Structure 1
Amino acid sequence: MPPGLSSTDVSFKGFGGLTLHGTMLAPQKASRPRPGVVLVTGSGSGVPREHLLTEAVEFARQGLAVLIYDKRSVGYTRFRRSYSELADDALAAVRALRAQPGVDPAKVGLWGLSEGGWVAPLAASRSDDVAFVIVVGGNAMTPIRQQLWNETSALRRVGVSGSLIDQGKRNFARLGADAGLFAEAHFDAQAVLRRVRQPLLGVWGSRDLQTPPGDNPPLFARALERGGNTHYTFRFFAGADHAAHVSPDGGVTRGAALAPGYAELVGSWVRDVTSGRLPNADAPTPPEQDHPSTPAPPSAWWESAWMQLAAFVLFVVAFTAYPLVAVVRRVRRRKVTLVGRWARLLAGTGFLAVIGLFFYLFYLMAAGRSPDPGSVIAGRPLPWLALQGLAVAATVSCVATTVTWRRAAATLSRGEHARLALLVIAGAVFVPWALYWGLLLP
């Protein structure tokens, strides 16, 4: 423990009666009860309290009693989490800190990093016990919009542009949310902020590569003021990363130290607001960000997960059935017609485009902020160009199959007509599907 600070183990009951364990750091000597702050960490299951030890030490050196605690792993997974439950955990931590000797219970607030920037305001909106709110790398937008910006920015940094980002990545993220694979995807952060009455400090690093540092501050201000709250302060730290740490490489790698002046800002701001000196809409111009974020609303019925599944089943059935029957016909040494050649090309290219699209987008999603999309030519990765080539070939083959089928209609059997009808229907559906996913767009 750094000299001049004390450390006290604290346990409390969070949501559902789960026992959570933490540590309070505070100055050893104080002439009067001190303000306190509970630190709420970012995303991840079971994040240990040590993850925020640097912040806790530096804030304690500013005269605050600081509580850090182990984040829950119960009920929190990649596909299931509840900001409401996490907010209840945070409020339980506030109650525990308010009860500690040497802490002024009227001056205890919440600090939230990243995901905690959604959780801390939600907790504050539920309780007058919270004296103030601090968000670092916080979002006043939906989690899906933030995550989409995060992932597409990583692709842009390696030279990717165009329909892969504008259509493919965006629609794949929305599909995942529709399928329940993106917990809290459409959490309404602005509705929560409109209910926050406590003074709020927002901190962003100018090189935040995970949260849009230019888009979010105006969204925060708009939501707070619509709720009648003008007691907010925004500050931006040049060259700092998502957590307002010094970054040696423009935000890609997090340094150990906090940005110069950040801890001092927190200390002085908390002392001011807990002494009745409230800020009044103190919001300088936010830093420029490399690319704007894009709204990602819930899917309409025609693009929903169920409609995508129906289209996928149609493609798999139609694009595999025709060549399988063709193989049987070839074994039986039936004559191969011009219609059959175009139809098999449609089936082959369509099937590969559909399967390849989902495999490639899933690979990019799994890569997160460290993508390797392949060699990039004119903003398009080679795998994406290959998928686009397949989609163009399938579209041309669909037209050619339809034309040659009509010309040869009188010579074809009833079974051949049925096979071609199913295939052409799948091809006709494939065209708008490929446009939706960006395979037929630049």
Structure 2
Amino acid sequence: MESPPTEASPQSLLPYYGSYSTDTGDVVVIARLGWFFDMRTSVYRTIYATSSPARFTIGTRFHEPLPKFADLLFGNGTLTIAESARARTAHHIGYRHTDVSVPAIGAQLSGTITEPIGAGPHPGIVVVHGAERGERYFYDIWVGVYTSLGLAVLTYDKRGIGSSTGTYPGDFPTVQALNVYADDAFAALSFLSLWPGIDPKRVGFHGGSQGGWTVPLAGERHRRGAFAVLASAPATTVDQTDLWAGFSGGGAVMPTESTGQMLAEVRDTHSGYDPAPALRALAVPALWLLGSNDRTVPTAVCVEILSAMRKPNFTVQLLPTGHGLLVNPTGLLRDDDQSPGLAPELVPALRAWMMQVLSR
């Protein structure tokens, strides 16, 4: 009996990661974390290894290897996506990757700048981590998305993680830890703004999950950044967010309480770090990408908070997803495995908003 496919390792994908373009202009991204993303169709799948080092497979759902959806065959700068009824060949896009060291307070942040094709000056974006012990390669998908929109992207290892020096402040978002992360984000933005070929007036932030607290705080503390994209990002306090996540065991089980009861309890909780002052001070264009079925962040309360601020520079895009922006009707982590991909609205909404912001 044939053994089930195993997930591809970051090391096995190291020769092949990056963005590929088909003859029709479709962009496909291969991430070292083991993910495949087709930006046109929103297909987002886990990559599985085979006996051949240049051949991989993907299934019909995000984290299900079988039935097989396609073979991924890598050649000399090419990727052939061989489905049962057709095959497409894409060519590796020659973005320039430069490893850098970003000076921060008490640390050197090891990062990579990925620059798009074509003459500059280019707009730029700094990708700010969520709660994980994050390294720069965690964000290959976002690098592929933003470079396809013409932005240079700086990703970096969190302080004390990967190749970065300094002391890791921990996973929990204390005020002290968030201040450190905000200062690191500002250091990265300042570094990218001075990079040759970058337009310093068009450099902004991307913050996901916990990074949605970090980015507005960086803006409040340093008054820098031309825009902000906040994905699955809370506008609620830390304790409100933790309370909401606790109802589902962090997305593990369906809550026993009604939605109305849960939201009422969240609204009545006000402790923990509160992002409201930083959000009120945020004067640049900001886009929230929020999953309507998120079990980690209370999206409904976040929308209420943001709407009550009546800030014309704020845009909220609701998506039929859970916390990971995968299409998911329940928001439970186990149901991410059966997802066909990321929300189809995600990339078009981000592209339209970014084009508007960068053209000002």
> Shorter-chain-normalised TM-score: which range?
0.5 to 0.7
Are 2:330 and 1:244 aligned?
Answer: no
What residue in structure 2 maps to residue 366 of structure 1? none
What residue in structure 1 maps to residue 215 of structure 2? 120
User: What is the SS of the residue equivalent to 2:181?
Assistant: helix
Structure 1 residues 106 and 150: alpha-carbon distance in aligned structure 2, compared to 1, 3 A threshold: same
What residue in structure 1 maps to residue 5 of structure 2? none
User: What is the SS of the residue equivalent to 1:260?
Assistant: coil
Amino acid at match of 1:233: T
Question: What's the offset of the Cα at 1:88?
Answer: 0.4
What residue in structure 1 maps to residue 347 of structure 2? 263
Does the CA contact (< 8 Å) of 1:34 and 1:64 recur in 2? yes
Alignment partner for residue 7 of structure 1, among 92, 97, 103?
Answer: 97
What residue in structure 1 maps to residue 282 of structure 2? 196
Does the CA contact (< 8 Å) of 1:205 and 1:241 recur in 2? yes
Question: What's the offset of the Cα at 1:141?
Answer: 1.2
Does the CA contact (< 8 Å) of 2:114 and 2:143 recur in 1? yes
Does the CA contact (< 8 Å) of 1:55 and 1:258 recur in 2? no
Structure 1 residues 64 and 210: alpha-carbon distance in aligned structure 2, compared to 1, 3 A threshold: same
Amino acid at match of 2:301: D
Q: Which structure dedicates a bigger proportion of its chain to helix?
A: 1
Does the CA contact (< 8 Å) of 2:170 and 2:177 recur in 1? no
Under a length normalisation based on structure 1, what TM-score does the superposition of the two structures give?
0.52
Structure 1 residues 76 and 68: alpha-carbon distance in aligned structure 2, compared to 1, 3 A threshold: same
Distance (whole Å) between structure 1 residues aligned to residue 274 and residue 155 of structure 2: 26
Figure out how many residues of one structure are paired with residues of the other and give that number: 252
Alignment partner for residue 50 of structure 1, among 132, 137, 150?
Answer: 137
Residue pairs, 1:329-348, within 5 angstroms: none
Does the CA contact (< 8 Å) of 2:291 and 2:323 recur in 1? yes
Distance (whole Å) between structure 2 residues aligned to residue 145 and residue 194 of structure 1: 18
What residue in structure 2 maps to residue 99 of structure 1? 194
Does the CA contact (< 8 Å) of 2:247 and 2:255 recur in 1? no
Distance (whole Å) between structure 2 residues aligned to residue 33 and residue 39 of structure 1: 19
Question: What's the offset of the Cα at 1:77?
Answer: 2.1
Amino acid at match of 1:114: S
User: What is the SS of the residue equivalent to 1:194?
Assistant: helix
Amino acid at match of 1:160: T
Structure 1 residues 49 and 257: alpha-carbon distance in aligned structure 2, compared to 1, 3 A threshold: farther
Structure 1 residues 257 and 18: alpha-carbon distance in aligned structure 2, compared to 1, 3 A threshold: farther
Task: Report runs of 4+ in structure 1 exceeding 6 Å deviation.
Answer: none
What residue in structure 1 maps to residue 293 of structure 2? 207
Distance (whole Å) between structure 1 residues aligned to residue 122 and residue 292 of structure 2: 31
Distance (whole Å) between structure 2 residues aligned to residue 42 and residue 143 of structure 1: 13
Are 2:159 and 1:72 aligned?
Answer: yes
Alignment partner for residue 235 of structure 1, among 295, 317, 334?
Answer: 317
Question: What's the offset of the Cα at 1:250?
Answer: 4.2
The gaps in structure 2 that reach 5 residues or longer are 1-17, 20-91, 161-166
Deviation by residue 1:231-266 (Cα, 9 ceiling, x = unmatched): 12111122x221323459744254695432423332
What residue in structure 2 maps to residue 38 of structure 1? 126
Question: What's the offset of the Cα at 1:113?
Answer: 0.6
Structure 1 residues 97 and 187: alpha-carbon distance in aligned structure 2, compared to 1, 3 A threshold: same
Distance (whole Å) between structure 2 residues aligned to residue 52 and residue 108 of structure 1: 18
Distance (whole Å) between structure 1 residues aligned to residue 137 and residue 146 of structure 2: 14
What residue in structure 1 maps to residue 256 of structure 2? 160
Question: What's the offset of the Cα at 1:129?
Answer: 3.0
User: What is the SS of the residue equivalent to 1:148?
Assistant: helix
What percent identity do the matched residue pairs reach?
A: 30
User: What is the SS of the residue equivalent to 1:123?
Assistant: helix
Question: What's the offset of the Cα at 1:219?
Answer: 0.5
What residue in structure 2 maps to residue 400 of structure 1? none
User: What is the SS of the residue equivalent to 1:82?
Assistant: helix
Deviation by residue 1:28-55 (Cα, 9 ceiling, x = unmatched): x2233121111111113x3111222111
What residue in structure 2 maps to residue 363 of structure 1? none
Distance (whole Å) between structure 1 residues aligned to residue 158 and residue 356 of structure 2: 29
User: What is the SS of the residue equivalent to 1:210?
Assistant: coil
Structure 1 residues 213 and 158: alpha-carbon distance in aligned structure 2, compared to 1, 3 A threshold: closer
Question: What's the offset of the Cα at 1:104?
Answer: 1.0
Residue pairs, 1:7-406, within 5 angstroms: 7-14=97-104, 16-27=105-116, 29-44=117-132, 46-73=133-160, 74-78=167-171, 82-154=177-249, 157-158=253-254, 160-161=256-257, 186-223=272-309, 225=310, 229-238=311-320, 240-247=321-328, 250-253=331-334, 254=336, 258-276=342-360
Does the CA contact (< 8 Å) of 1:42 and 1:113 recur in 2? yes
Does the CA contact (< 8 Å) of 2:248 and 2:255 recur in 1? no
User: What is the SS of the residue equivalent to 1:107?
Assistant: strand
Does the CA contact (< 8 Å) of 1:114 and 1:138 recur in 2? yes
Structure 1 residues 19 and 137: alpha-carbon distance in aligned structure 2, compared to 1, 3 A threshold: same
